[in-house]
Structure 1
């Protein structure tokens, strides 16, 4: 049975580090070996610093996949589908690799990232190293509970891990979309709490859906459910706030078992009511109200294969 990467379904941590790399041309064979070593490196550190609850995820970019694993491709894996959207001005970052490291100790994250970079350094260029942190009791910088609709228990695995019957080679892998959002907190904090709640669609304290008629169709919560509170979100969200002197927001990592889950859910948030509209690039209509207070400047699509796949891909003529 295929073994998934532990960071996909792990519980929330206090700190997250994100490493975005571009691979140097002609290094595919050695990188296949090194990518398979990263989970072992993380497992060794997790055992040594057991109280830190260290986990990680190795993901390969949609545009780089065929170069490093030419023998098989996850069904429906494609570049970030909304790059160039007029409303959000999304711009795709051409990253070949994404490594996510999460734990309850920032120093352990630092050690893990240092060792990963040392392992990969001769064969890659580091594009970005980003840092996220847990805010209050799992809240976003807006003050609202982050992703209160996230799946729990067995539903989490069902939603995020590829079904072995659907794609045996990629069983226990996961489609991953990465985004960095910047918040306009200056204008957000000028709103009354009741206005913020109607934009988000949830109660600010408890995180529960607002009752009608306060629950607006294009509120953030209902947009995530594709306009109907009976619809469950299609994605597992692993969001972590980031903050600097002049910028702040959230780093969003979305996992899904199906290749079109992100397109369906996020497309609805952008105002596209049907999948067929996405290729037409029509102006957004009834888009997520919270998009008036944030914008994304980094986005990319990846696939996080199973540990079993990473190990098998190192053997000649197997993948």
Structure 2
């Protein structure tokens, strides 16, 4: 039975670190070996710092997959969607690797990043290090609960991990969309509470959906839930904050890349049922978008031996 990467479905942590890496040309063989060792590194550090609840995810970019693993490709793995007709600029960027590290201790995240980079030194270039954090009781910088419709308990694994019957080779793997959004806090703070709730589609205190007579068809809640309750996608978002730039690191995991594509096309106003783009995007700029696949630990280990 395939072993999934535990960081995909892990519960929320206090700190998140996201390494975006590009591979050096011709280093595929050694990278296959080193990537297979990263889950062992995460396990060792998680045991050593047990109170930190450390978890990690190794994900391979859609554009780099065929060079790294030429013998097998996930059926739905494609480059990040190019919606040239949309009003929203998606800023799609090819990234070879995403290493997601989350824990309840920032120092443990830093130690883990250091050891990951030490292991991969000489074989990759660092494109970016994004840092996220838990804000209040799971809110984003709008002040609203982030993704209150997220699947819970066992449903998290069901919606995010590929079933063995669907794709035996890639069982327990997950498709992943990463987006970095920059938040216009100054404009958002000028809105009244009612205006903010109308944009979000749920109330600010308890995250309860607005009454049907009030909710707007292009509100954030409805645009992010084109399929019943959005239950086919697991969001693992974290706010980010720097003095001159604040926003959201948005990660969407799914057992089907089509689910990710459908949600995104609906959000930018290009699906058949769309009435426009998500109103919340009027207060965000998308800085980066990339598509990845997070294979099972079993796949990483077997591919390293090939």
Number of residues of Structure 1 aligned to a counterpart in Structure 2 = 306
Q: What is the distance in 2 between the residues matched to 1:49 and 1:90? A: 38
2:254 corresponds to which residue? 256
Structure 1: segments with no counterpart, 5+ residues: 276-283
Aligned 1:29-178 pairs, distance under 5 A:
29-82=29-82, 84=84, 86-178=86-178
Contact preservation (8 Å) 1:270, 1:285: no
Distance 1:95 1:85 in 2: 23
SS at match of 1:22: strand
Q: Helix, strand or coil for the counterpart of 2:122?
A: helix
Distance 1:82 1:289 in 2: 20
The equivalences for 1:146-225 within 5 A come to 146-225=146-225
Whole-Å separation in 2 of the counterparts to 1:44 and 1:9: 19
TM (normalized to structure 1)? 0.93
Question: 1:274 corresponds to which residue?
Answer: 272
Secondary structure of the equivalent of 2:265?
helix
In structure 2, relative to structure 1, the CA distance for the partners of 1:303 and 1:44 (3 Å cut) is: same
1-side partners of 2:94 and 2:260: how far apart?
18
Which moves more between the two structures, 162-171 or 88-97?
A: 88-97
| Residues in 2 aligned to 1:45 and 1:262: alpha-carbon distance in whole angstroms | 32
SS of equivalent residue, structure 1 residue 222: helix
My pick for the range that moved more, 217-226 or 173-182, is 217-226
- Post-superposition offset of 1:83: 5.8
User: How far 1:204 moved relative to its partner?
Assistant: 0.2
Residues in 1 aligned to 2:54 and 2:256: alpha-carbon distance in whole angstroms: 27
Matches within 5 A, 1:225-244: 225-226=225-226, 230-244=228-242
Q: Which moved more, 1:87-96 or 1:287-296?
A: 87-96
Q: Which runs of 4 or more aligned residues in structure 1 lie more than 4 Å from their structure 2 counterparts after TM superposition?
A: 83-86
Q: Cα RMSD between the aligned structures?
A: 1.4
CA deviation map 1:142-190 (0-9, x unaligned): 0000010000111111100001001000000000110000011101000
**1:26 aligned residue:** 26
CA contact (8 A) 1:84 1:91 kept: no
Is the contact between residue 233 and residue 252 of structure 2 (CA under 8 Å) also seen in structure 1?
yes
Report whether the alignment pairs 1:2 with 2:2.
Answer: yes
Distance 1:103 1:89 in 2: 32
**Comparing 284-293 with 55-64, which one deviates more in the overlay?**
284-293
